[in-house]
Structure 1
Amino acid sequence: MSDTGPARRDLREACLATALAIVGEEGLEKLSLREVARRLGVSHGAPYKHFPSRDHILAEIVARAFAAFAAHLDASPRTGDARRDMGAMGRAYLAYALDHPLDYRLMFGTPLPDPADHPEMMRQARHAFALLKERLRAVHAADGRRFDDGRLDRDALFVWSTMHGLAGILSGAALSQVGLPDEVLATAPEHALSLIGAALEGSKEGW
């Protein structure tokens, strides 16, 4: 195989797709460059031309997951009403978590490689968090409030942890054992968003 041109790029993309498939089908513990090579039917050394180690290929698929997640959040509606826009991002967060469980697990349920060695992975993760902070900042501004970065970070963490927890519950096996009515499950996201909005704004109105 040529070391330049489309063939080389195709192998890199094939390695990434195969690594993602391994994690999805067999779990992170089964991911190795040797297994990637075996599935692709190439020499054991071929993936190493693109990825020096298992951590490097894992960091790349995680970075791509964060990039897709951030793009999905950023594409949520912007109406000019800061509270509505924040609520729209919350809905987008939950939808992505439920529609893309493997990506979501890679981002938030996987032991990640050392961030210092994989700056692109962390850049994408921070970008997603920055998008959340941007909309929260707009909510604060719309209410005539100005908070320091520490308060903004804490508010963002509060929103994130609430939506993350709800996503985990709605997608988890334990929920079926609780026996909640379908109506409760269907309205849970909007109820959570309303309570988040009320908590942040000190209002019963919510978002």
Structure 2
Amino acid sequence: MTSRSTYHHGDLRQAVLAAALDVIAAEGPGALSLRDLARRAGVSHAAPAHHFKDRTGLLTAIATEGYGLLAEALADAPELRERGVRYVRFATAHPAHFQVMFQPELLRADDPDLLAAKDRASAELRAGVADVKHVPDARTAGIAAWSLAHGFATLLLTHNVDAAMGGRDPEEYFRSLTGLLFSAQPATGEWE
């Protein structure tokens, strides 16, 4: 049996998510309105609420989807540097998800689907650090690696490094950044 929204619209949930991602990419999450998204989808203003309850529910669904996509993007990366490259690639391929995922004030922090998706993505990030030898504090090393990838991705998406990159491929540029920072041997041992 088909649900009423499927019968009348196709996949209303997915249509609203897609429209929301377009709005966020163009104008940011502050521009989202369920009423506007309903108008774009050609349904009653109350229809999106059946799937998301409210704006926060919609943003939480976007973040949940984003963390799932990030976990998939990071899975099976051969080493920490390539996980960073995949993180940057994810951010550039999914800029609207990326914007929403890291603004906890926009989300339902206790949403079980969101928590599960965040856990999957976090596990993939931690897996990259687990393979690095001679790291006295894996948690701090993980935060350092995440900071580098997230910071670079944010600067890239906000066009703050366009001139510095001089038209170079962002993934190759990120690899060169990590090489520059991590190629030197510390006085007490090796990085790898």
**TM-score, scaled relative to structure 1:** 0.74
Name which of 98, 119, 122 aligns with 1:126. Answer: 119
Contact 2:92–2:157, Cα closer than 8 Å, also in 1? yes
**Residue segments in structure 1 that go unaligned for 5+ positions in a row:** 79-84
Cα distance change of structure 1 residues 163 and 200 upon mapping to structure 2, 3 Å threshold: farther
Asked if residue 47 in structure 1 is aligned to residue 45 in structure 2, the reply is: no
Aligned length: 189
Give the CA deviation at 1:41. 1.6
Name which of 176, 180, 186 aligns with 1:191. Answer: 176
Cα distance change of structure 1 residues 56 and 91 upon mapping to structure 2, 3 Å threshold: same
For residues 170 and 31 of structure 1, the distance between their equivalents in structure 2, rounded to whole angstroms, comes to 23
Partner of 1:56: 57
One-letter amino acid matched to 2:154? G
Partner of 2:83: 89
Partner of 1:12: 13
Tell me the alpha carbon deviations over residues 138-181 of structure 1, each in whole angstroms, 9 at most, x when there is no partner. 223xx5x7x6xxx322211110001111222334333346x565
Contact 1:155–1:200, Cα closer than 8 Å, also in 2? no
Higher relative contact order (CA 8 A, sep 6+): 2
One-letter amino acid matched to 1:190? R
Partner of 1:24: 25
Partner of 2:97: 103
Report the more deviating stretch, 24-33 or 191-200.
191-200
State how 1:158-173 maps to structure 2 within 5 Å.
158-173=144-159
Contact 1:37–1:47, Cα closer than 8 Å, also in 2? yes
Report the more deviating stretch, 166-175 or 39-48.
166-175
Cα distance change of structure 1 residues 196 and 96 upon mapping to structure 2, 3 Å threshold: farther
Cα distance change of structure 1 residues 196 and 131 upon mapping to structure 2, 3 Å threshold: farther
One-letter amino acid matched to 1:152? A
One-letter amino acid matched to 1:174? N
Partner of 1:114: 108
The percent identity for this pair of structures is: 27
Cα distance change of structure 1 residues 121 and 95 upon mapping to structure 2, 3 Å threshold: same
* Structure 1 SS opposite 2:44: coil
User: Over aligned residues, Cα RMSD in angstroms?
Assistant: 3.2
Contact 1:98–1:167, Cα closer than 8 Å, also in 2? yes
Tell me the alpha carbon deviations over residues 93-131 of structure 1, each in whole angstroms, 9 at most, x when there is no partner. 122223332222222357431312x22123212221211
More helix by share: 1
